[in-house]
Chains A and B, each alone.
Chain A
Amino acid sequence: MPPAGKTRWYPSGLLVLILVLVWLPVRRGLTQEPASWSPGLVRGIQTYCLDCHDATTAEAGLDLTALLQGPPAGRADSLRQVLDALDFREMPPVDAPQPTAAERAEWIQTLRQALQHLAPTVAYPPTPIRRMNRFQYNNAVTDLFELQCVVFTLPERMMRDHSGYFQPQSGRMPDVVTVGSRPLGKSQMIERRLAGVAAFPQDLRAEHGFDNQADHLSLSPLLMEAFLKLGESITQSPDFVPRNVGIWKRFFAPPAGSADTSEVLTGRLRPFLTRAFRRPVDSETLQRYVGYVQGQLAEDVPFPEAMKNVAAAVIASPRFLYLYDRADSGTATGTVDDFELASRLSFFLWGSLPDEQLLELAERQTLSQPHVLREEAVRMLQDRRLKRFCDSFPAQWLQLERIISATPSRELFPDFYYLKYRDSMHMMLEPLLLFETVLIENLPVTHFLDADFSYRSNLLEEAYGELASNPQAVNQPGGQVGPLKFRRVALTDRRTGGLITNAAVMTMTSGTERTKPITRGAWIASVIFNHPPQPPPADVPPLAEHPSGAEQDLTLRERIAAHRQRSDCRGCHEKIDPLGFALENYDVIGRWRDRYENERPVDMSGSLFRQHEFQSVVEFKDALLSEKDRFSRGLAAHLLSFALARKLGAADQAAVDHIVERTAEDGDRLQTMILEVVLSPPFAAKSPGRLDGGGDARFEPAGPQARPSVRQVSPPQTLEQP
């Protein structure tokens, strides 16, 4: 740093130079002139933003001085942050001077345009190579061998279908379904499976994300060992027999006596490897696997055993285990090839390998034609394998695993516990059934905010008390613990219905003794609007479960207000608190209450995005519905992130906007939204990085942050020894 005052002109001159240099390539890349700021916006930034966001204050890490110059190249993500803060009415803070509504609207419009102009210069974030997670692995192995049972039981597949209700091709959910909760129900983890196969550890959901997120899925030696053992234990399982293995005759059964072994093996292994590796197999690879089997046969290993051994090897191959985009295929503009597209599609909607039809269309290079792609996606949405999508996306989107560890106080909520079980077993299935119904029946996504029906068991109806669909009829026997019967019920009371006010969501966002409005608000911000708050500063203690002596007579809202006096906490809380307080009429286990235990009335009033005042939950729901495009945008972004196995970046935002527009044009239907995700540009885009020519880089250190310099890497020869 030069001494202050002495050469002041110099760095600012340098800055101008840098700005010019930065601008040049960007401007070349654009077909139109970028949007420039109106004088009003420049003045607005000076008046309303720079007090807290200039170079010295830079609150939330944002220095907006550079923004005065016009749309900042290469900073689309920051621009998005500013746009969202304005759009969600988070900024300026409540107690600061405010722009007029017209000013705000104009700025939002300008910033949107600027972002659209920047979009072509911003690359899609890459999805790194990643291993399958255990859910995908399970499905892929099941499909590859056409198994008639599961490989191992996964509690993350939360809802079990006992009555064969899941028939997407029918376009209709039955009025009565029998379902079970794998994680919480009695004996619901017991199902037909391959004996002797041990699951590897569950892949955890990324924060505000999904368990397929690429950066989370790495391979340690321990896990590699588990994969090797797993492949072997699958084919060696006592249940790996013709009855359970659909491809037995085509693959494992000994050929007729006279057949030429080499021909038989080639004929069997080619389609098997193509399916397992999701693209045609080259002859060298094919010969290697054929040779392996021939070697085994030469050692008098029986034919089916030799085939089992090769099958175990195939499912340990990185070409099976890893999901990746090749750097040497597709187009120069960063589009996937047809085989990669087939895999994206099938892992998105089926959590598994592409089927033969998808691979055939890829082979003919027609899959990437939009009408074919659409037809295929429609076909896949009608296929029962869609259950895999329903077994992964909704529970993770809703963060429903949190209900599993919710344990309300037994003293305060004894009704939550029955027999040896908990009501949450029933609760967790309600939102999942709503999701499946909206998907199968292709209903508007607004049903997630406010629905006039639900699926409920007798026990759940009873648990809801006055929120039951028919409060007069709740006293039916209903304490089931294994398979549970759920009925479709009409809801006329708008205090209930939709995802947000579900007993499951209300319970999992509560503490053991009291509701947690901030947790609920954060849930709505993250799940419903895909706009998660920053994590709280570590040095702020949570509010105690019990009110202290002095707090006995306060409402929860008053306690929290007294609790958060720090100014740096307010920004976030102004955003999430009203969302959470809106649900204060629902107690720790989702029942209605008008008053707290201390007899103070519940005050749930507030405003949504500082725009829509509400005095009741029904008004809150109306406010949400009036902002349904924001919800739609959140859901579309969640879907796209799940489909691409990565976080979204600035470049994806235009696609999300487009998906929402197209979905709205078709009545906000969920299937339409999914089709639009499949047809969106990022779904077909890839940025796998440069393909390095020549040189064996495989043992090069992965960069300073991945490996400290002391790590010494052995030469590759050690690997070549068999």
Chain B
Amino acid sequence: MNAWNRRTFLQGLGGAALALPWLESLSLAAPSTTAPTRMAHFYVPIGVVRRGFFPGEADHVIPKGNLGNVMQSLGQQDPNFSVRPLDQLTPTLQPLEAIKHKVTLLTGMDRVFQQGTDVHAQCASCYLSSARPYTVQGTAWPLQRTLDHVVADQIGKATPFATLEFSCNSHRDNKESIYFDNISWYGTGHLAPSIRDPRQMYRRLFSTSEISRYREVTGLVLEDARSLQQQLGSTDRQKFAEYFESIRAIEKQMARLEKMRAELAQTPFEEPTDAYLPRGDYIRLMGDLMVVALQTGLTRVATFMVGPERWDTPYMFDGLFDKPRSHHQMSHNQTREIDDLLKIDRFHMEQFAYLVQRLDAIEEADGTTLLDNTLFTYGSGLGDGSTHQYNDLPIIVAGGGRHVRTGQHLNLPEGTPLANLWLTQAKLLGLPLQEFADSTGTIPDWVVR
């Protein structure tokens, strides 16, 4: 029997890893006195039960059945902009109690659905891009290069990994569409595959043994790539650029990893085993890996899907229910399942709160915490799993205290695109953007200048 469990892994993290600095001297980043800003996204599938999540909606009507054709809130939201202190937390938000002063709740933001695909497919895959409807040619989705990659194009050059994609989709069937299962895309129709297996993620982050052999092989095959490229037509040439980019990304990553190897080798991280982990432990282990990657500078940009959209196959929510359950199917039956759905919402929030606190427990060289330097966003592509609404989305940004005023509840004016938040984040991360996707501006009264 293998005695390994998540706790021994965490001891490794809790001990040596907590002391790990941002490995700045070893990265290619320009030396600076302040810790760099990171961005991470925690995606929650299938919306939330509004009564449990949103302030002031506790008495709103419970959606009955699958209200797929409603696509908007059943109850009234305040259409006006307001800023309030975040003091009294709603039941679903309770796990954040201890850290609420470092959190911003943002309500009232919307997206626009582009007719022609499944609601769930678009709500996840286009969450981080949400291009203006019908502007992207040749695809049913308003999907472009997603925020994480756009940001990493700018700030991911100096880290071994430009971005990292985590997923806690533990399904082994490939039954459902890739559009339910990915929030991170290199571009239209070109997904950035996520890693679901903690062991695979561990190896990706920490294993460096193959570096020199890669070098020789890539050197050899790159010549083939160059000669092949001369024989391709112009359209194919554009697509074939992906080969060079892939090799180049690996080359760079190898170079940076190699530089960090000595430091990382001192941390006694144990490789996770393939033993079954209860769902909460699994999510937190994947989260720990994300935290350590952000902490050490393996990457500055990460996305984290806590589960896939619309998978009808059930899975175990260990500790919540005795039997495997399908979150999606439950969401179509709020009248009967509301208590259990609230448990799931709360469960997801507990995982988020755990990671927020992990980030805040890590002190950086300049005395701030990792959380202060990370824009860590909780969000879902649906405002409610029953109404399938794209408006009034549940969004929380934890951290970023160095840049934004926290401990507040901002209610944004009617019709504020979610992309306004993405634009604001991109600007905070140093991108000189004037607009992103269907943005109309930035989030007011939030950024500290």
Contact = CB atoms under 8 A, between A and B. Distances in A.
B213 interface: yes
Nearest to A291: B220
B245 interface: yes
A644 to B, nearest CB: 15
Contacts of A318: 221, 224-225, 228, 240, 243
B67 interface: yes
Contacts of B239: 128-130, 218, 702
Contacts of A326: 231-232
A719 B68 contact: no
B234 A690 contact: yes
B2 interface: no
B146 to A, nearest CB: 10
Contacts of A405: 173, 175, 313
Interface stretch (B32-40, B111-119, B367-375): B111-119
Given A224-B243, A316-B217, A318-B228, A544 B65 contact: yes
Contacts of B251: 718-719, 721
Nearest to A702: B238
A706 B187 CA distance: 5
B7 to A, nearest CB: 28
Interface in A287-335: 288-289, 292, 309, 312-313, 316-319, 322, 324-329
**Residue among B70, B228, B249 with the most chain A CB within 10 A?**
B228
Nearest to A292: B220
Contact of A327 (B118, B187, B195, B232): B232
Nearest to B226: A698
A720 B178 CA distance: 35
Contacts of A220: 186, 190-193, 242, 246
A390 to B, nearest CB: 21
B433 interface: yes
B248 interface: yes
Nearest to A227: B246
Given A129-B236, A318-B225, A711-B153, A539 B246 contact: no
A129 B249 contact: no
A699 B241 contact: yes
Given A219-B242, A327-B232, A698-B229, A710 B250 contact: no
A698 B388 contact: no
Interface string A96-133: 00000000000000000000000000000010111000
B144 interface: yes
A5 interface: no
Given A535-B118, A719-B244, A404 B173 contact: yes
Nearest to B171: A405
A691 B233 contact: yes
A223 B242 CA distance: 11
B154 interface: yes
B246 A710 contact: no
A196 to B, nearest CB: 14
A328 B233 CA distance: 8
A202 interface: yes
A716 B68 CA distance: 50
A558 interface: no
A215 B232 contact: no
**Residue among B191, B221, B431 with the most chain A CB within 10 A?**
B221
B366 interface: no
Nearest to A225: B250
B164 to A, nearest CB: 10
A285 interface: yes
A691 B248 contact: no
Contacts of B74: none
B349 interface: no
B65 A689 contact: no
Contacts of A129: 232, 236, 239-240
Given A221-B246, A223-B246, A405-B173, A535 B117 contact: yes
Contacts of B210: 228-229, 232
Interface in B67-103: 67-71
Contact of A710 (B136, B154, B232): B154
A541 interface: yes
Interface in B298-315: 313
A718 B157 CA distance: 13
Contact of B219 (A128, A539, A708, A722): A722
Contacts of B119: 538-539
Nearest to B246: A224
Nearest to A404: B173
B237 interface: yes
Nearest to B162: A221
A1 interface: no
Contacts of B223: 285, 288
Contacts of A219: 242-243, 246
B361 interface: no
Contacts of B432: 710
Contacts of B118: 535, 538
B193 A542 contact: no
A216 B219 CA distance: 27
B322 interface: no
Given A318-B221, A405-B313, A688 B187 contact: no
A712 B150 CA distance: 10
Nearest to A716: B244
Interface string B312-341: 010000000000000000001000000000
Contact of B187 (A309, A402, A705, A719): A705
Contacts of B250: 221, 224-225, 228
B144 A708 contact: yes
A312 B217 contact: yes
A313 B217 contact: yes
- Ranked nearest first, the 8 interchain pairs of A and B with the lowest CB-CB distance are A689-B233, A224-B246, A327-B233, A539-B69, A722-B219, A688-B233, A221-B249, A541-B66
15 contacts: A204-B177, A222-B192, A223-B246, A225-B250, A228-B217, A327-B232, A329-B231, A538-B388, A540-B69, A541-B68, A688-B236, A689-B234, A707-B187, A711-B145, A720-B222
Interface of A: 126, 128-130, 201-202, 204, 207, 215-216, 218-225, 228-229, 231-232, 282, 284-285, 288-289, 292, 309, 312-313, 316-319, 322, 324-329, 401-402, 404-405, 535, 537-542, 544, 688-692, 697-700, 702-703, 705-708, 710-712, 714, 716, 718-722
Given A292-B220, A313-B216, 10 more contacts: A221-B253, A225-B246, A228-B217, A309-B216, A401-B174, A699-B244, A706-B187, A710-B431, A718-B252, A720-B222
